[in-house]
Amino acid sequence: MNILLAKFRFFINSSGNSAGSYMDDYWHVVVRQKEIVLKTLKFTALIVTLAMLFGFTAALAGAIEVNGDIRYRTFMDNRDFDSDTEAYNWSEMRSRVNLSASSGDNLNFFMQMQDSRTIGAESSVIADNGMYSMHQAYFTYSPCEVSSFMAGKFALGLHNERLVGKVGWSNVGRTFEGFVYNRDFGMFDLTFLGTQLDEVVTTEGLNNDTKLMGFNFALPQFDFFTYWAYDELEASDFSLMTLGMYRKHAFGAMDYEFMGAYQMGSYVADVDVAAMMIFGEFGYTLANNARVAFLMDYTSGDDATDATEFGGFNNLFYTGHKFRGAMDYFVGDNDEGLMDMAFKFNYPVNDAWGLSAAAHMFTLVEVAEDAEDALGNELDFTATYTDGAFKWTNGLSMFMAGDADVPGYSSSTGDNSMWFFSQFSAGF
């Protein structure tokens, strides 16, 4: 009877695989159930451990704050520049639970558990192949009113996230592991960060971790910053330093945001990096609270004329989706460099609805002689409905290819591409 029941469940929950003998199907289900039980036990153990840890904290501070959110998003993806192929449809979901507590007035704790999954990716409806993780876990200690120290695993968005960002659009998101120290000196503010990007031990037993260090000097008008990414092994030639300035200001109905950065260092021996990035956005808010803006995002490219010098700018850990169009064709680095000029429009229709639009024009910076540089134009439209902690966002984008190929595609000889998403999010 148990074998027949297992057989019945197997056929209901299978994804089209052929069935073998009754015993094979039975043991298939048994193995899958064992995997589910193990995953459930692991996650339960994690929850219990967290509850115990925060129980001790609660005993000291008297309270634990719990909040979180669930985000469900579905896509219609036809970004291959081929109108003869059918659009690819899929959905994904991200769930987060946040726990925060404090001990005294100067010690705070934060933990964020996350589950990220592609809907339908499980091998059957009784399987669970989601990605559970401790997305964030850190404490913040403030020895005095003007300084703070944070250590652990944390999401980090610096300035406008043009170089270091959280990538909130991602179904997983980006986190760093390390520490951040901040000190307010009154006339200026200093921030220092130290993070480890990976843990590597060579075959010779030598440590070759990759580090990211950062320093920000904030004045009332400008921020001056430095990021240094490097390999710890002395024999490695990877060492990339980024020096820059950031400024954001509003006056009356006008506003602007600017960031400029210069990179130097090396990726390999005998090749020096000399690259730059310029970002600027200038906006104007109308009487009805609608905002129009012009954006320019420039990264230098390598002209390939000098083998001892590389001129392509490395975008580090930026939130590319925020800047270079919703279709994400250009979120990666490219040796040729990129110029993006865009017009943006945002209109709050009422307390519930908001509309936005953007028109991008993408161009390569460095190309071979007689080669094309026009990548194409992208139009992005978004409508958002908000009702308290519930939000519904819909986006539609179209890319009209130019004479130069979009990286990874034969777009110059292809058709226009389309992309659509609908996203629901709810928080508590």
pLDDT tens-digit map of 110-131: 999 999 999 988 766 666 666 7
User: How far is 423 from 196, CA to CA, in rounded Å?
Assistant: 33
Tokens for 34, please give them: 């064992």
If one compares 21 and 414, the residue with the highest pLDDT of the two is 414
Q: Are 100 and 110 in contact (CB under 8 A)?
A: yes
Res 56 pLDDT > 70: no
Tokens for 22, please give them: 């009754």
Q: Are 254 and 224 in contact (CB under 8 A)?
A: no
pLDDT digit string, tens, across residues 371-391: 899 999 999 999 999 999 999
- Residue 13: pLDDT band (50, 70, 90) is very low
- Residue 32: pLDDT band (50, 70, 90) is very low
User: How far is 52 from 313, CA to CA, in rounded Å?
Assistant: 47
pLDDT digit string, tens, across residues 144-157: 999 999 999 999 99
Nearest 10 degrees: Cα torsion 145, 151, 154, 160:
50
Mean pLDDT for the stretch of residues 392-413: 92
pLDDT of residue 9: 29
User: How far is 116 from 172, CA to CA, in rounded Å?
Assistant: 6
Phi then psi dihedrals of residue 183, to 5 deg: -140, 125
* Count of residues making up the chain: 428
- Under DSSP, is residue 423 helix (H, G, I), strand (E, B) or coil? strand
Find, among 402, 398, 420, the residue nearest to 411 by Cα. Answer: 402
User: How far is 400 from 119, CA to CA, in rounded Å?
Assistant: 30
pLDDT of residue 57: 52
User: How far is 229 from 195, CA to CA, in rounded Å?
Assistant: 10
- Residue 4: pLDDT band (50, 70, 90) is very low
Lowest-confidence pick of 8-22, 174-188, 244-258, 340-354: 8-22
DSSP state of 413: G
Q: 417-427 and 374-387 as β-strands: parallel, antiparallel, unpaired?
A: unpaired
Res 26 pLDDT > 90: no
User: How far is 363 from 301, CA to CA, in rounded Å?
Assistant: 11
Provide CB contacts within 8 A for 61, sequence distance 6+: 101, 102, 103, 104
**DSSP per position, 88-116:** EEEEEEEEEEEEEEEETTTEEEEEEEEEE
Question: Which amino acid is it at 237?
Answer: D
Find, among 334, 335, 303, the residue nearest to 320 by Cα. Answer: 334
Mean pLDDT for the stretch of residues 158-179: 96
pLDDT of residue 232: 83
Tokens for 2, please give them: 């148990």
Res 40 pLDDT > 60: no
If one compares 338 and 58, the residue with the highest pLDDT of the two is 338
pLDDT of residue 363: 97
How many Cα atoms occupy the beta-carbon half-sphere of 196 within 13 Å?
A: 11
User: How far is 225 from 218, CA to CA, in rounded Å?
Assistant: 8
